[in-house]
Structure formats: structure tokens, C-alpha cells
């Protein structure tokens, strides 16, 4: 296998965004769609294409050798290449490769292209192709998880909502998409949860008591614990408490809510402070963001429950006492 | 300068490089062992040079790639070298599966959407940098670690190197305690391109159904595959010298680092294939090997030049050139 060196990619050093856009657009189109062209679709880099298990990997290897400014132009060029690719079924393989490449190299520049209305509609609604739908969603999710809150957060957040609202959205992705939304806007976790509720409830809510399937009960309990733990890890303790506050301030049957009840029960260790259970992996240390904020005083579980459950009567009507 | 003379000069220069010596040594060993007909390597090299077009500027790296193109019929002239180099693969136990070791990054692009959704259901995570997806997928129980290939998935772009699952298991289970599974298999398969601390240093072993081989064109590795894999020797270096087998042998990187040219795992190559080559009921099982931790081929005693010297033995530049030009 012949790996490129920095000297080998010197011919790309003078490329600006438009050059990279043309090189990537023509290259990927030629590679996938023009019979017999293959690696020759990438002028000057052809010895290094076709080396790895797939072409996205080859291009990512070349990208890694670029200087910072060149790499920026490359990422912007990739977004432009995507925008130049017509939305046609024949091009799905090219679009998929561009999205995979964007995901691999962290090219959040493509988010603005994906979010153009006609393109987004085509990607999530018009094409009955679950592979492309998934590649797009994975790309968006990947870019959001890669960066956390940043200037593109709003756009990414809006895109995730578009996916959730799409008819084709698979409920299997509800949890990771919810976590991605929490990463982008940690202080609004409760509203993110509501956005994916319809997808989560059928799989995470406790089964009715008359179901004689302990394994299924146990499996769902694991899922509930997992999503609560992951929320806590993602948004940190302060935001987690805020989330519970917001939830309990809303009218409703909070004691019937599987998420809330799991959150209160499973996070008891953290609220109670150190104990043997607090060192098990299921209760990991909150993320670094918390370091910048002084941790709130440690409540006991009883105090915590009293704070909420004594404040409002349990029952179908909810509301303050 | 005549084309013939230009080629002679080019070849002489190429054979002064480590890659040229590795390729030439394997070509001559292949002929001596009867792996391919006399003169076939000479013919392929000349065809690759002609396919290069711009003779003055032809880079050695490009020349090696052109050799692959010629074999794969991607460049004229079409002499069906693939068929001439292909051979049966009776050396494998057909009840077993094949093992391909690749960077883990490739797996998400091979798996179908349905399997991504299943993984997501099982792990609550989605493939993304920093999302811990790899660890989550790696820790799935064995019965859940499988996928059906996406219809458009491409398995390799030129040659796919594989061994059998039992061979792969052998090298993983018999490794010394201090050696990681990824290092053990990387060394046994001679995958020197997999180095620590690169973004791709996490490896996965894919277990493919053996029946797939009936649908693919496969061959014992020969000199022409040097572009996709530099660390293999056509001639076995484990006491089985001279025995013709449908399986080639990779060079064991760990042993070579210790100063010994010894064979590693038995290997064979298939021409790149796709998800469409799988039957409906066939799945790819996988085990995540983890990261490669030990560097190979960085020291002068185990780099390309050292390997080229070990492989050429007592052959001189003139002898290599005389037999190939």
C-alpha cells in the first residue's frame, strides 16, 4: 500500500475552495459514475486513490496531510461540491460518499448545504432510499456530536428536528438524536425529550402489569436507565436538575412519566453524594463543562423528592398544591 | 530515445528502489515456483509502463498502481491476466469463514441501514466521532455483532487480502500476553501500513461467508499485488519452501522486527467486490480488535529497504534487471 506523504499532496497546496470543489465533484462523479475512469478521476492524486478499503478513506488520508488553511478550503470545497451535485437518483452513490467524507473529516460546512430546503426535502422525503436517509442523518448527528455548541449549532439543531419530523424517521435513532440535541442545547433537554417522545415511548415505557414477560420488563428498564445516564453525562448535573425542574413545573402526571421516575430513582446516588454505587460505571463523572460552574449543594434523595413531590399533589390533575 | 530504451532506463531506476526490489524479487520467485508462467511478469511490467503514457514523468508509485490496473483489466491491453493468475483455493476449509482485517472506520460504510438501526437500538448510540459508538458496538454480545452489507457497499477497491477465521483466531489466541489482538493480527498479516496513533489504528476483523469465494475471482498473492501490500513474500519462509499452495504467506512483522524473515498467516486475495455479491441470507460477522499500539517498519532494520534486502537474497541488481527487462 502506497500512502501519500506531504510532498505528494503538494500539488493541492495552491487549491482554493473552488478548486477543491471541482476536484472533489469531478473526482467522485468520475470515480463512481464514469465506467473505466476509476482513480484517474482524481488528477495528480491517482496513485493514492484505490489504496484503502474505500475511496472515502483514501481522500481522508489525503486531507490529513493538508495544512490548516488548505484543510479549511478543502472542507468548504466539499460543501460546494455537494451543492453542485444534482439531486438525481443516479447520483445517490456520489452524495452518500460526500456525506460520509464530511462526517469523517468533520466538515460542518456541508450542514448549510444539507439544510437548503429543496435538498433537505429530497434527502429526507422524496427519495425512498433508507441508506441515503441514514447516511445524511448520521452525517448531521456526527457533526453535531463532534463539535457541541458552536456557530452552526442552530442549523444543526434545526436539521435534527427536520429529521425527527420526517415520515421516514426510524425510532431506533430517537435516543442518539435526542442525545445530540442535548449536546447542542444542554439547557433545553426536557423539550428535546418531548420532540422524540412519540418515538421513545413505545420502546422505553414500562409494559403493562399484565404482561407476563419479565425479560422484556428488564430490557425496557435497562433502556430507561441508559437514556437517563446518557442525558446526565451529556448535559451535566446542573442542567439535569434544571431539566427535572422544568418537567415538574409542567402540568401532568409526572409520577406516571417513565423518564422522570427513572431520572429521580437512578440519579439518587449522585444526589446523595459518595457511596459504593457512585463509583460504578453506570454513574459516570459529569462532563467537563460542569467544572466552570460551581456544583450545587448536595441534596439528599429524601430532600429532593420532598422538594417536588410535597410541593404538588400526585394525581391526574397535577399542578401546584 | 526509443520507447524500448526509455523503458529499460525506467526499469533500472525502479529496481534501485526498495519497492522495485520487493516487486522484482517476488516476480522472480513466482516464476521459479511455477506460480505463473515464465515471462508473464516481464509482460505485465511492460504493459504497465506503456499504460503510463507520459513515460518521462511516470512515478514509481503510479507504475505499481498501473500494474494492478493491468491485472484488473482497468487499462488496456486486456490480456485477461486475472484469469491467468487465478487459481483454485482448495487449501481452505469450506466450513469456515474468511477473515478480512480492516480499519474499523470502514465498518459503518459497509453495514446496511437496517443494521445501523439495530446497532442503534442495542447501544443507544449512533456512529459519530466522539460518540463512543465504537466501544458500544465492540461490546455487543457476539450474536449481535453481524451485519448485512449495504447494497452499494464496496469491499475494497483493488485487491482484498484475506485469511481464514481459524487462522486469524490462532494468531489472536496464541499471542503473548503483552501483545494486543490488533497488534498480533496486524503483524501476522504483514499489514505494516497500520501504525499506532493514526485515526485508523482501530482494527476490525470481518468474517465473510466462505461461499462468497465461489462468486469472486481470487488468486494466490503474487508480485502484481505489491501495490496493495508490500510485506508479503511469494516464497514461504517457514520451512515449507518450494511447496506450491493456493495460499501465499504474509511476512510476520514482529519476527522481521526481531531480525528474522519468517512467514506469517496464510493469505489469499480476491478482487474487490460489493454488497451485491452477497446472497440474501449471508451476513458478515465481526470482532473489534482494538487499537494498534506497536509501530512497525519505522526502524532502519525493519523498513522497506531492509525488507527489500532480505527478500532479494543474493540476487544482484543486474540479475533482477536481466530477467525482467
> What mean pLDDT is reported for chain A?
81
Question: B91-113 pLDDT, tens per residue?
Answer: 566 667 899 999 998 898 899 99
Interface of A with B in 141-170 (CB under 8 A): 141-146, 170
Enumerate the β-bridge partners of residue B99.
B163, B207
Q: Write out residues 45-74 of B within 8 Å (CB-CB) of A.
A: 59, 61-62, 64-65, 68-69, 74
C-beta atoms of B229 and A133 within 8 A:
no
The predicted-structure confidence for B159-186, as pLDDT tens digits, reads as follows 999 999 999 999 999 999 999 999 999 9
Give the pairing of strands B202-209 and B97-103: antiparallel
Q: The C-alpha cell of A114 is what?
A: 444539507
Distance from CA of A183 to the nearest CA of B (A): 11
Per-residue pLDDT, A288: 38
Q: What is the pLDDT of residues A99-142, one digit of tens each?
A: 999 998 989 999 999 999 888 888 887 666 888 899 899 899 88
> Could you tell me which of A177, A227, A232 has the C-alpha nearest to residue A205?
A227
Q: Residue B255 pLDDT > 60, yes or no?
A: yes
Mean pLDDT of the residues in chain B: 87
Q: Is the pLDDT of residue B83 over 60?
A: yes
Most A-contacting residue of B123, B129, B203, B228 (CB-CB within 10 A), to test interface: B129
Cα separations in angstroms, A185 against A155, A197, A260, B30: 12, 17, 19, 62
- In angstroms, the separation between the Cα of residue A3 and the nearest Cα of chain B is 8
Residue B279 burial by CB count (10 A; 0-12/13-18/19+): exposed, middle or buried? exposed
- What integer pLDDT is reported at residue A213 of this predicted model? 81
Provide the 3-class DSSP secondary structure of residue B165. helix
pLDDT at A321 over 90: no
* Residue B114 in this model has a pLDDT that exceeds 90: yes
A64 in B contact zone (CB under 8 Å) = yes
Residue B318: DSSP 8-state: H
Indicate if the pLDDT at residue A147 is higher than 90. Answer: no
Residue A278 binned pLDDT confidence (cut-offs 50, 70, 90): very low
Tell me the C-alpha distance between A52 and B240, whole Å: 31
**CA–CA min distance B161, chain A (Å):** 10
Output the nine-digit C-alpha cell for B2: 526509443
Determine the pLDDT at residue A293. 40
Distance CA B303, CA B193 (A): 11
What is the reported pLDDT for B203?
93
Instruction: Please tell me the distance from the alpha carbon of residue A237 to that of residue A229, in angstroms, as a whole number.
Output: 11
Distance CA B121, CA A281 (A): 20
Helices (H) and strands (E) in chain B, counts: 13, 9
- Higher-pLDDT residue of B246 and B68 is B68
- In this predicted structure, the answer to whether residue A320 has a pLDDT above a threshold of 90 is no
Res B128: pLDDT = 67
Average pLDDT over residues A248-277: 67
Q: Are B176 and B316 in contact (CB under 8 A)?
A: no
Residues of B in contact with A177 (CB under 8 A): 126
The ipTM value here is 0.86
Query: What confidence tier does A277 reach under pLDDT thresholds 50, 70, 90?
Result: very low
- Nearest chain A CA: its distance from B228 CA (Å): 4
More confident residue, B24 or A146: B24
| Tens-digit pLDDT profile for residues A37-91 | 899 999 999 989 988 888 999 999 999 999 999 999 999 999 999 999 999 989 9
Per-residue pLDDT tens over the stretch B125-155: 887 655 678 889 999 999 999 999 998 899 9
| Residues A104, A56 contacting (CB under 8 angstroms) | yes
Specify whether the CB–CB gap between B276 and B110 falls below 8 A: no
- B276–A contact, CB cutoff 8 A: no
**Among candidates B103, B105, B117 on the partner chain, residue whose Cβ is nearest the Cβ of A173:** B117
Residues in chain A, how many? 321
Is residue B18 less than 8 Å (CB to CB) from chain A? Answer: no
Can you tell me the distance from the alpha carbon of B82 to that of B99, in angstroms, rounded to the nearest whole number? 22
Q: Per the CB < 8 Å rule, is A142 touching B116?
A: no
CB contact under 8 A, A226 and B113: no
Per-residue confidence at B243, pLDDT binned at 50, 70, 90?
A: low
Instruction: Provide φ and ψ at B297, rounded to 5°.
Output: 75, 10
**In angstroms, rounded to a whole number, what is the distance separating the alpha carbons of residues A34 and A36?**
6
Q: Quick one: average pLDDT of A236-257?
A: 82
Higher pLDDT, A242 or B56: A242
Whole-angstrom CA distances from A124 to A102, A136, A139, A169, A317 are 18, 8, 13, 8, 39
Which contiguous run of DSSP H or E holds residue B40?
helix B40-51
* pLDDT reading at A300 higher than 60: no
pLDDT at A282 over 50: no
Write the DSSP string, A53-97: SSHHHHHHHHHTTS-HHHHHHHHHHHHHHHHHS---GGGHHHHHH
Q: Give contacts of A143 with chain B, Cβ < 8 Å.
A: 128
pLDDT computed for residue A317 by the predictor: 36
The neighbouring-strand residues paired with B98 are B164, B208
Whether B308 and B297 have beta carbons less than 8 Å apart is answered as no
Q: What is the per-residue pLDDT for A41?
A: 95
How do the domains of chain B map onto residue ranges? 3-86+301-324, 97-291
Q: What phi and psi, each to the nearest 5 degrees, are found at residue B269?
A: -125, 145
Q: Is the pLDDT of residue A290 over 50?
A: no
The string of pLDDT tens digits covering residues A183-233 is 889 999 999 999 999 999 999 998 876 567 888 888 999 999 999 999 998
CA distance B106 to A280: 33
Q: Cβ A57–B108 below 8 Å, yes or no?
A: no
Tell me, what's the pLDDT at A148? 55
Query: Rounded CA gap, B268 and B221, in Å?
Result: 6
Does A107 touch chain B if contact means CB atoms closer than 8 Å?
A: no
* pLDDT at position B131: 62
Q: Which of A166-170, B34-38, B239-243, B291-295 is least confident? A: B239-243
Q: Please say whether the beta carbons of B147 and B110 come within 8 A.
A: yes
| Residue B70 pLDDT greater than 80, yes or no | yes
Q: What gap in Å lies between CA A145 and CA A139, rounded to an integer? A: 10
**Polymer length of chain B:** 325
Amino acid at each position: 500500500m502506497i500512502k501519500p506523504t506531504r510532498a505528494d499532496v503538494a500539488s493541492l497546496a495552491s487549491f482554493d475552495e473552488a478548486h477543491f470543489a471541482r476536484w472533489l465533484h469531478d473526482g467522485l462523479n468520475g470515480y463512481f459514475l464514469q465506467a473505466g475512469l476509476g482513480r484517474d478521476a482524481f488528477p495528480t492524486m491517482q496513485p493514492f486513490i484505490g489504496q484503502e478499503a474505500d475511496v472515502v478513506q483514501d481522500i481522508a488520508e489525503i486531507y490529513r496531510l493538508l495544512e490548516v488553511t488548505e484543510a479549511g478550503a478543502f472542507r468548504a470545497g466539499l460543501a460546494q461540491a455537494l451543492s453542485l451535485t444534482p439531486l438525481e437518483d443516479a447520483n445517490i452513490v456520489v452524495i452518500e460518499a460526500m456525506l460520509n467524507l464530511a462526517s469523517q473529516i468533520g466538515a460542518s460546512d456541508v450542514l448549510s448545504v444539507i439544510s437548503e430546503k429543496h435538498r433537505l426535502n429530497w434527502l429526507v422525503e422524496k427519495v425512498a432510499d433508507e441508506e441515503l436517509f441514514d447516511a445524511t442523518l448520521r452525517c448531521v448527528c456526527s457533526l453535531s456530536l463532534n463539535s457541541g455548541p458552536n456557530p452552526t449549532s442552530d442549523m444543526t439543531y434545526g436539521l435534527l428536528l427536520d429529521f425527527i419530523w420526517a415520515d421516514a424517521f426510524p425510532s431506533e435513532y430517537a435516543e442518539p438524536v435526542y442525545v445530540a440535541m442535548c449536546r447542542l442545547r444542554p439547557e433545553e433537554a426536557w423539550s428535546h425529550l418531548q420532540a422524540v417522545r412519540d418515538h421513545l415511548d413505545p420502546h422505553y415505557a414500562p409494559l403493562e402489569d399484565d404482561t407476563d414477560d419479565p425479560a422484556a420488563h428488564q430490557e425496557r428498564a435497562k433502556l430507561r436507565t441508559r437514556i437517563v445516564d446518557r442525558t446526565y453525562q451529556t448535559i451535566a448535573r446542573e442542567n439535569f436538575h434544571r431539566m427535572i425542574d422544568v418537567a415538574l413545573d409542567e402540568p401532568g402526571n409526572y409520577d406516571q412519566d417513565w423518564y422522570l421516575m427513572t431520572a429521580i430513582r437512578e440519579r439518587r446516588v449522585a444526589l446523595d453524594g459518595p457511596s459504593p454505587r457512585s463509583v460504578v460505571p453506570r454513574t459516570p463523572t459529569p462532563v467537563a463543562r460542569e467544572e466552570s460552574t460551581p456544583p450545587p449543594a448536595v441534596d439528599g434523595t429524601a430532600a429532593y423528592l420532598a422538594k417536588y413531590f410535597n410541593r404538588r399533589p400526585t394525581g391526574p390533575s397535577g399542578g401546584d398544591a | 530515445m526509443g520507447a524500448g530504451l526509455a523503458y529499460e532506463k525506467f526499469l533500472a531506476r525502479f529496481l534501485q528502489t526498495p519497492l522495485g526490489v520487493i516487486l522484482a524479487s517476488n516476480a522472480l520467485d513466482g516464476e521459479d515456483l511455477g506460480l505463473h508462467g515464465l515471462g508473464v511478469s516481464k509482460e505485465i511490467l511492460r504493459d504497465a509502463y506503456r499504460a503510463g503514457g507520459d513515460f518521462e514523468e511516470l512515478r514509481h508509485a503510479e507504475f505499481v498502481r498501473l500494474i494492478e490496473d493491468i491485472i484488473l483489466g482497468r487499462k488496456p491491453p486486456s490480456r485477461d491476466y486475472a484469469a491467468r493468475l487465478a487459481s483454485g483455493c482448495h487449501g481452505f476449509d469450506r466450513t469456515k469463514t474468511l477473515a478480512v482485517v480492516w480499519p474499523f472506520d470502514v465498518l459503518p460504510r459497509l453495514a446496511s441501514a437496517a443494521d445501523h438501526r439495530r446497532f442503534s437500538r442495542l447501544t443507544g448510540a449512533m456512529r459519530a466521532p466522539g460518540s463512543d459508538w465504537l466501544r458500544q458496538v465492540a461490546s455487543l454480545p457476539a450474536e449481535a455483532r453481524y451485519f448485512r452489507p449495504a447494497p452499494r457497499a464496496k469491499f475494497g477497491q483493488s485487491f482484498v487480502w484475506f485469511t481464514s477465521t481459524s487462522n486469524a483466531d490462532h494468531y489472536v489466541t496464541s499471542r503473548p500476553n503483552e501483545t494486543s489482538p490488533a497488534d498480533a493480527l496486524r503483524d501476522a498479516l504483514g499489514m505494516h501500513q497500520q501504525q499506532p496513533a493514526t485515526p485508523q489504528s482501530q482494527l476490525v476483523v470481518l468474517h465473510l461467508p466462505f461461499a462468497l469465494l465461489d462468486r469472486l475471482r481470487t488468486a494466490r498473492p503474487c508480485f502484481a499485488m505489491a501495490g496493495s501490500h508490500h510485506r508479503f513474500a511469494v516464497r514461504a519462509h517457514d520451512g515449507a519452501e518450494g511447496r506450491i499452495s493456493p495460499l501465499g504467506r504474509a511476512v510476520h512483522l514482529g519476527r522481521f522486527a526481531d531480525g528474522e524473515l519468517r512467514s506469517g498467516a496464510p493469505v489469499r486475495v480476491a478482487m474487490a467486490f460489493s454488497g451485491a455479491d452477497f446472497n440474501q441470507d449471508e451476513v458478515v460477522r465481526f470482532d473489534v480488535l482494538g487499537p494498534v499500539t506497536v509501530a512497525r517498519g519505522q526502524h532502519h532494520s525493519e523498513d522497506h529497504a531492509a525488507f527489500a534486502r532480505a527478500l532479494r537474497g543474493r540476487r544482484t541488481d543486474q540479475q533482477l534487471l536481466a530477467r525482467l527487462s
